[in-house]
Every structure is written in C-alpha cells, then in structure tokens.
C-alpha cells in the first residue's frame, strides 16, 4: 500500500508526544488501551444486536406461547398455539406448498447454475459476462415478480405469444392451481441461477488443472472427468449452495405477494405467506410466532441433516 | 466459507492446452472449433435469457398503454411515450393520466423514490460504519469475551429474518415508531451480523505491519483504525456497502408492515400496493413497468459503476 509514507508524515495524527507508547498496563493479559478502544467499537453494534436480534429472537419464542392481538395484554396459553397449528389444515397446506416449491426450485436451479459455471469455465474469463449473469440477483424480488407477471400474462406476455407462435395453446401460468407454483419457482430460478453459477464458477477455479490432464492421459472422457473429478471436488461449494438456497427458498414471500397472493385456491400459500397473513392481517401475533418457530426448527434440522449426510463441511482437496 | 481476498484478481481460467498430437491435429482442431461454437451459442442463450426480460420491461414502459394490448408482438414500442413515467411520477393530473392511457389512480412514485433513497442511504452508511468498527475490534483488539461474543454474532447469521420480524414489529409499535423512517431503519441501523462477519473476515486477512508501526509511532488505537486501516480497506467497505444497499433497496416484507403510509412508503411497497389496486382484468402494464424501471435503474446504475467488486468477491466470501 502506498499510504505508508503519507501516514507517518501526516501532521494531524494526534501524537501529542512523538514518543512511542509506554508498555501499557496489563490487566489479566489484556492491554488497557485495547479494551478501551474495543468498548467504543463494539458498543454500538452490541446495542443493535441486543435490541433487534437477540431480544426479538427470545421474545418471539415467548410470544409463541401467548395469545396476543397487539391491542390487549398478551395472555399466556402454553402450547395451545402449537396444538392449534398441528390441527390447522391450512398450516399443513402451507408446509406442503413450501416443500413442493423447494423441490421445484432447488434441483433445477442447481443444475442450471452448475451448467452455466462449467460453460463459463470454458470461455474467456470476463467480468462483463459475470456481471450480466448476476444482474437479476441485484433486482428487487418485487420487481422481478411484477416483470414476470407481465411476461407470463396470457394476453400481452411474450412467453405466451411465443407458445402460440409455435402452435401451442396459451397457458395461464400464474392463474391455474397446477401451474402457479412451478411458475413462481421458475421466476426465482431465473433470478438466482446467475448467482449460483458464480459460486460454482469460483469453486471450479480451485480445482487444479493437472487433475484433468492426468485423467485425459488415463483415457477418461470429459464426461467421466466431470462426474469423477469436478463434482466430488465441488462438494463444499455444493453444500454451501444447496444449504443457503434451500434456506432462502423456504422463506419465499415477495414473489408470491406480488403475483398470486397465495392463490389460486391456496396453491401458492407458502409458509411465510401463512405467517404474514396471521400475524399482520389478522393480528394473531402469538399464532404467527408459533408458525415461525416451526419454520425455524425445520431449517435447523435440514441444515444439520444435510451436513451430516454429505459430509458437506469437508473438502477432498486437502 | 473461505477467507475473503483483498482483491478478486488472479482468477485463472482452465483453457485447454493446445493439441500436441500431430496425427490427431486436424480432428482435434475441428473438435475444438465445434466446442467453441457450442460454448459461444450457450453464452448467447444465457445472455438472451437474462437480458431479454429487462428489454421487455423497457419496451412496455415506453409504450402507449392501449398499444400494449393491441400490439403485443411488436419488438419495438408500437407507439413511443413518456406518459407512463409521467403518470407514475405523479407529474400529471388524473384527467391527463387517463388521456395518457392510465387509470385515474394517484401514483406518488416520486415520493417513494425519495423515501427509498433516504432509507437505503441512511441504513447503508451507518450500518457499514458501525459494523466495520465492531469488525475491527473483533479482528484486531484483544478484550474479554471477544471470541464468545463473536460466535454469538456468527450464530445469529443463521437466523432467518422472519424469526425477528414479528417481535421487531411489536417493538417498533410499542415505541410508537410505526410509519416513521426511524421505525423502518432501526433494526438495520447499527449492525447486521452479516456485515460484521464480512468485514471481520476481511480485516483478519490484511497485513498487520502498517497498523503496528503506526501504533509504535504513537498513534492511538482509534487513530490507527480510522486513519490507516479503514482508508486502505475501501474496496472491501465498498463491497459491503453495495451488498447492504442492495439488500435494503430490495427489502419488501419489513417495509410493508412498518412503512405502509404514503409519507414513508418505499418503492417496493409502492409497487406492491400499485399492483393490488390495478384492475385485475386489464392491469396497467405501462404504469407497472415504468414503476419497476424506477426501482431498477438506481440499483442497476450502482451495479454497473461499482459492481465489479461484488462480482469478484462472490465465491471468495460466499456473500449472499
């Protein structure tokens, strides 16, 4: 860094005495001036963390055992919310819809992302290309949802015009219970495939080229090399991609909120929509909080199970 | 998750070594050509699929609304107009809006654009600043409970936003901050675990020598951080700021429940409400697409100008 010379000669560095620091007092092995500086540095973030992350996480759990409409005092009702939740067929529906959504979304998104990454690894490395691929990921979900609402519209949407141009029938993508959820999955695949591709691309860059050379000398086809070298060595990246995108997919909300609003016939009523509906439209805060706790537990169990099964935290590259 | 690098340079591509086999040279080069063409075609498809929808957004936003229905196949806007933008920004009276092919609906997107800018700018500046401070302390200063506190922050990375939304809403309501900028920005103002984590990983990765020599020259800890470490960390701070700004700009659920009032309504919320109010049978596509463009252009500009840092840092940090 070029700053070195400027820094030492900067006159306004408040060195009242140009003398070096005296060895500061040690208190249990800590230096006094470090502790002092750390207090200034940490306290603002600690206030934010305590008020808006730690406290609400605990409070959310507490709220799930209460009946509360925001207007009257919360009433402690034990596990009644959970009991009600497990008897609520619309909660089960939202769980089923969310799992279906994840199943539509993740495999296709992962395969497309990987395919794009392999392709990018073959062409000239270009920041511009990577930028283009990443662009949809930067755009608000709400915008992406509205954009595809138009693109998939039966009357004016170019997707349907292409279908009719090919002699096929129009599809009312977001208006039919059978197609609405897969359509929303498709929209989010479009938004995320570039991001996933860049993660895989970075993973591909870490695989030493000589492994491929050795496999070619041994007579392996590129196809075999992909299955035997690329995929196994991508496992840590694969774990990161799958775990984070499944966690993200379970929280799908924005796209649903601006396209189908849970419909038609509850076919896109995902878990966060269910929570939003109960907590913020009917003001059953306790019931919404209980559903949130269940969602959170599902994500924790999934993450640990996946890590355990795939040994996802370990790399074979050593 | 791997350690972030100070720069994203030095990425190499796996190009195929040139064919050395004399006998197979002709077939090999034919094979290589075939592959190259296939790869180029693949890239073209990806770019078209990615950018095509944006083009159609643009095309629809500039089209006179009745023509959107009359002429849906036209690649260029069948009849150019800036009317959709004028309507959406509230620059015309309801009567004029109807003449421009819209509904008489009042659309104050100019105000929402301003609100989005206020919310995004204030959250980004303060969150990155305070998170970087905390991150520096975690990376460089030794103090009691440092490591246990940091692991609590890291654990909080795993907690999805929805878990805190309901209690935070209740808290903001109790403070009487619903439908105020204070209420909208409060949860993200001082930190997010992600920003602290990202900056901490960066500070750990940079060289200590400069700081130590400044310290030995008599600069205090705060001076060292503000005069030396933060200035030389500008690229990482920028990357962090872009990610925070994008996340804030794109946020919908929190803004929707805390800031529905017109006075503080941000663009994503305004778009959601616009969509709910537009007639179901024949939605105001021109207005909707003009509105989505307003929400897209600022973030796309930031991305075009500064996105290189982000593009290069993805994969090194697994930043999402």
What is the 3-class SS of chain A, one letter each residue?
A: CCHHHHHHHCCCCCCCCCCCCCCCCEECCEEHHHHHHHHHHHHHHHHHHHHHHHHHHHHHHHHCCEECCCCCCCEECCCHHHHHHHHCHHHHHHHHHHHHHHHHHHHHHHHHHHHHHHHHHHCCCCHHHHHHHHHHHHCCHHHHHHHHHHHCCCCCCHHHHHHHHCCCCCCCHHHCHHHHHHHHHHHHHHHHHHHHHHHHHHHHHCCCHHHHHHHHHCCCCHHHHHHHHHHHHCHHHHHHHHHHHHHHHHCCCHHHHHHCCCCCCCCCCCHHHHHHHHHHHCCCHHHHHHHHHHHHHHHHHHHHHHHHHHCCCCCCCC
B101-119 confidence digits (pLDDT tens): 776 666 788 999 999 999 9
A146-157 confidence digits (pLDDT tens): 999 999 998 888
A217-229 confidence digits (pLDDT tens): 888 888 888 898 8
Compute the nearest-CA separation of B95 from chain A (Å): 25
CB contact under 8 Å between A119 and B42, yes or no, is yes
CB contact under 8 Å between B43 and A123, yes or no, is yes
By the 8 A CB rule, do B158 and A251 touch?
no
| Percent of residues, chain A, with pLDDT higher than 90 | 52
CB contact under 8 Å between B217 and A8, yes or no, is yes
Across chain B, what does the average pLDDT equal?
A: 84
Q: For an interface test with A, which of B167, B177, B186, B241 has the most A Cβ atoms less than 10 Å from its Cβ?
A: B167
By the 8 A CB rule, do A292 and A60 touch?
yes
CB contact under 8 Å between A30 and B159, yes or no, is no
CB contact under 8 Å between A13 and B288, yes or no, is no
pLDDT of residue B2: 39
For chain B, state the CA radius of gyration. Answer: 25
In order of their start, the domains of chain A are 32-81 (no CATH), 83-310 (1.10.3720.10)
Helix (H), strand (E) at residue B34? helix B25-61
A159-197 confidence digits (pLDDT tens): 988 888 888 888 889 999 999 999 999 999 999 999 999
A70-82 confidence digits (pLDDT tens): 888 899 999 999 9
Within 71-90 of B, beta carbons closer than 8 Å to A belong to 72-73
C-alpha A123/C-alpha B45 separation (Å) is 14
Contacts of A207 in chain B (CB under 8 A): 14
pLDDT band at B25, cuts 50/70/90? low
Reference A140, options B319, B315, B271, B262; nearest CA is B271
B149: which residues sit within 8 A by CB, 6+ positions away?
A42, A46, B138
| B84-91 contacts at long range (C-beta below 8 A, 24 or more positions apart) | B84/B286, B84/B287, B84/B289, B84/B290, B85/B61, B85/B290, B85/B293, B85/B294, B87/B287, B87/B290, B88/B287, B88/B290, B88/B291, B88/B294, B89/B113, B89/B294
Query: What is the pLDDT averaged over residues A133-140?
Result: 91
Contacts of A120 in chain B (CB under 8 A): 43
Question: Between B42, B187, B292, which is nearest A147 by CB?
Answer: B292
pLDDT of residue B14: 44
Contacts of A131 in chain B (CB under 8 A): 303-304, 307-308, 311
pLDDT of residue A111: 96
CB contact under 8 Å between A13 and B219, yes or no, is yes
Instruction: Record the tokens describing residue B80, joined without a space.
Output: 């150019």
Question: Between A59, A150, A207, which is nearest B288 by CB?
Answer: A150
Q: What is the dihedral of CA A160, A161, A162, A166, to 10 degrees?
A: 100
C-alpha B167/C-alpha B180 separation (Å) is 17
Contacts of B60 in chain A (CB under 8 A): 150, 156
CB contact under 8 Å between B144 and A28, yes or no, is yes
Give the CA distances from residue B243 to residues A29, B206, B239, B303, in Å, rounded to whole numbers and listed in that order.
38, 21, 6, 10
**Which residue in chain B is spatially nearest to A210 when comparing CA positions?**
B14
By the 8 A CB rule, do B318 and B2 touch?
yes
Instruction: Record the tokens describing residue A154, joined without a space.
Output: 């039966």
Reference B157, options A96, A286, A208, A49; nearest CA is A49
Reference B238, options B308, B171, B174, B172; nearest CA is B308
Reference B303, options A140, A252, A109; nearest CA is A140
**Which residue in chain A is spatially nearest to B6 when comparing CA positions?**
A1
For chain A, state the CA radius of gyration. Answer: 26
CB contact under 8 Å between A37 and B214, yes or no, is no
ipTM of the complex: 0.85
Query: What is the pLDDT averaged over residues A44-54?
Result: 95
The answer to whether residue B6 neighbours chain A at the CB level (below 8 Å) is: no
In the predicted model, is pLDDT for residue B1 greater than 50?
no
Q: For an interface test with A, which of B315, B317, B318, B319 has the most A Cβ atoms less than 10 Å from its Cβ?
A: B315
pLDDT band at A13, cuts 50/70/90? very low
pLDDT of residue B92: 79
A234-245 confidence digits (pLDDT tens): 988 898 899 889
Give the CA distances from residue A127 to residues A81, A133, A219, B313, in Å, rounded to whole numbers and listed in that order.
51, 10, 34, 12
Instruction: Record the tokens describing residue B88, joined without a space.
Output: 């959406």
* Bond into A264 cis (ω within 30): yes
pLDDT of residue B105: 67
pLDDT of residue A253: 95
The answer to whether residue B20 neighbours chain A at the CB level (below 8 Å) is: no
The answer to whether residue B205 neighbours chain A at the CB level (below 8 Å) is: no
User: Between these two residues, A4 and A102, which has the higher pLDDT value?
Assistant: A102
pLDDT band at B8, cuts 50/70/90? very low
pLDDT band at B315, cuts 50/70/90? low
By the 8 A CB rule, do A143 and B295 touch?
yes
The answer to whether residue B99 neighbours chain A at the CB level (below 8 Å) is: no
Reference B185, options B245, B138, B238; nearest CA is B245
B250-289 confidence digits (pLDDT tens): 999 999 999 999 999 999 999 999 988 887 777 888 889 9
pLDDT of residue A127: 79
In the predicted model, is pLDDT for residue B16 greater than 50?
no
B154: helix, coil or strand?
Answer: helix
pLDDT band at B183, cuts 50/70/90? very high
Where do the domains of chain B lie? 25-99, 109-277
B201-248 confidence digits (pLDDT tens): 999 888 888 888 888 888 888 888 888 889 988 888 998 999 899 999
Fold of domain B109-277: MetI-like fold (1.10.3720)
In the predicted model, is pLDDT for residue A2 greater than 70?
no
Contacts of B307 in chain A (CB under 8 A): 131, 134, 138
Question: Between B166, B170, B187, which is nearest A52 by CB?
Answer: B187
pLDDT of residue B28: 65
CB contact under 8 Å between A150 and B285, yes or no, is yes
The answer to whether residue B210 neighbours chain A at the CB level (below 8 Å) is: yes
C-alpha B247/C-alpha A134 separation (Å) is 14
CB contact under 8 Å between B171 and A161, yes or no, is no
Contacts of B167 in chain A (CB under 8 A): 55-57, 59-60, 63, 289
pLDDT of residue B106: 63
Q: What is the DSSP letter of B80?
A: B
pLDDT of residue B176: 94
B33: which residues sit within 8 A by CB, 6+ positions away?
none
Contacts of B252 in chain A (CB under 8 A): 140-142, 253-254, 257
| Percent of residues, chain B, with pLDDT higher than 90 | 44
pLDDT band at B167, cuts 50/70/90? very high
B72-97 confidence digits (pLDDT tens): 788 888 888 888 888 888 777 777 77
The answer to whether residue B190 neighbours chain A at the CB level (below 8 Å) is: yes
Q: Dihedral of CA A100/A101/A103/A104: which sign?
A: positive
By the 8 A CB rule, do B132 and B190 touch?
no
Compute the nearest-CA separation of B164 from chain A (Å): 5
Residue A31 forms beta bridges with which residues? A26
Compute the nearest-CA separation of A282 from chain B (Å): 13
Question: Between B12, B189, B311, which is nearest A131 by CB?
Answer: B311
B35-70 confidence digits (pLDDT tens): 888 888 999 999 999 999 999 999 999 988 888 887
By the 8 A CB rule, do A171 and A154 touch?
yes
User: Between these two residues, B198 and A125, which has the higher pLDDT value?
Assistant: B198
Across chain A, what does the average pLDDT equal?
A: 87
CB contact under 8 Å between A139 and B299, yes or no, is yes
């Amino acid at each position: 860094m070029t700053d070195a010379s400027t820094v030492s000669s900067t006159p306004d560095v408040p060195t009242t005495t140009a003398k070096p620091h005296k060895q500061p007092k040690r208190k249990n092995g800590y230096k006094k001036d470090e502790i002092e500086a750390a207090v200034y540095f940490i306290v603002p973030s600690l206030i934010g963390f305590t008020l808006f992350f730690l406290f609400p996480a605990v409070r959310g759990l507490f709220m799930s055992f209460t009946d509360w409409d925001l207007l009257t005092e919360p009433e402690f009702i034990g596990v009644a919310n959970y009991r009600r939740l497990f008897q609520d067929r619309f909660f089960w529906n939202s769980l089923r819809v969310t799992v279906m959504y994840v199943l539509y979304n993740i495999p296709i998104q992962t395969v497309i992302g990987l395919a794009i990454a392999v392709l990018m690894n073959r062409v000239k490395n270009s920041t511009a290309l990577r930028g283009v691929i990443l662009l949809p990921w930067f755009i608000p979900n709400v915008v992406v949802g509205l954009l595809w609402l138009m693109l998939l519209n039966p009357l004016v949407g170019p997707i349907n015009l292409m279908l009719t141009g090919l002699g096929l029938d129009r599809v009312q993508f977001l208006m039919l219970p059978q197609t609405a959820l897969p359509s929303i999955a498709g929209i989010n695949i479009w938004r995320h495939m570039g991001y996933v591709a860049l993660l895989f691309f970075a993973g591909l860059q870490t695989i030493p080229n000589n492994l491929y050379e050795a496999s070619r000398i041994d007579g392996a086809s590129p196809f075999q090399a992909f299955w035997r070298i690329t995929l196994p060595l991508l496992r840590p990246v694969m774990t990161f991609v799958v775990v984070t995108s499944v966690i993200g997919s379970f929280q799908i909300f924005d796209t649903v909120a601006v396209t189908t609003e849970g419909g038609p016939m509850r076919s896109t009523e995902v878990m966060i929509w269910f929570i939003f509906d109960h907590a913020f439209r009917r003001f059953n805060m306790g019931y919404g909080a209980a559903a949130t706790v269940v969602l959170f537990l599902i994500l924790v169990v999934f993450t640990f199970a996946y890590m355990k099964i795939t040994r996802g935290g370990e790399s074979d590259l050593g | 998750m791997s350690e972030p690098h100070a720069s994203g340079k030095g990425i190499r591509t796996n190009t195929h070594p040139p064919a050395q086999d004399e006998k197979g040279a002709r077939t090999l080069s034919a094979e290589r050509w075939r592959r190259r063409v296939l790869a180029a075609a693949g890239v073209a498809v990806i770019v078209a699929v990615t950018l095509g929808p944006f083009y159609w957004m643009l095309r629809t936003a500039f089209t006179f609304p009745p023509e959107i229905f009359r002429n849906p196949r036209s690649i260029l806007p069948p009849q150019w107009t800036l009317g959709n933008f004028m309507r959406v920004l509230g620059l015309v009276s309801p009567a004029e809006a109807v003449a421009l092919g819209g509904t008489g609906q009042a659309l104050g997107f100019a105000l929402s654009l301003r609100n989005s800018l206020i919310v995004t700018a204030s959250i980004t500046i303060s969150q990155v600043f305070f998170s970087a401070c905390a991150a520096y302390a975690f990376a460089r200063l030794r103090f009691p409970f440092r490591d246990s506190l940091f692991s609590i922050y890291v654990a909080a990375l795993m907690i999805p936003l929805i878990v805190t939304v309901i209690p935070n809403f209740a808290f903001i309501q109790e403070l009487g901050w619903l439908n105020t900028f204070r209420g909208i920005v409060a949860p993200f103002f001082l930190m997010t675990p992600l920003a602290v984590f990202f900056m901490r990983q960066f500070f750990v990765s940079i060289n200590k020598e400069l700081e130590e020599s400044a310290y030995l020259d008599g600069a205090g800890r705060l001076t060292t951080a503000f005069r030396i470490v933060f200035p030389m960390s500008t690229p990482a701070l920028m990357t962090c700021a872009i990610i925070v700004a994008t996340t804030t700009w794109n946020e919908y659920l929190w803004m929707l429940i805390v800031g529905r009032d017109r006075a503080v309504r941000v663009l994503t919320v305004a778009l959601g409400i616009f969509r709910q109010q537009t007639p179901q049978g024949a939605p105001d596509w021109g207005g909707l697409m003009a509105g989505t463009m307003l929400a897209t252009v600022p973030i796309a500009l930031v991305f075009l100008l500064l996105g290189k840092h982000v593009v290069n840092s993805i994969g090194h940090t697994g930043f999402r």
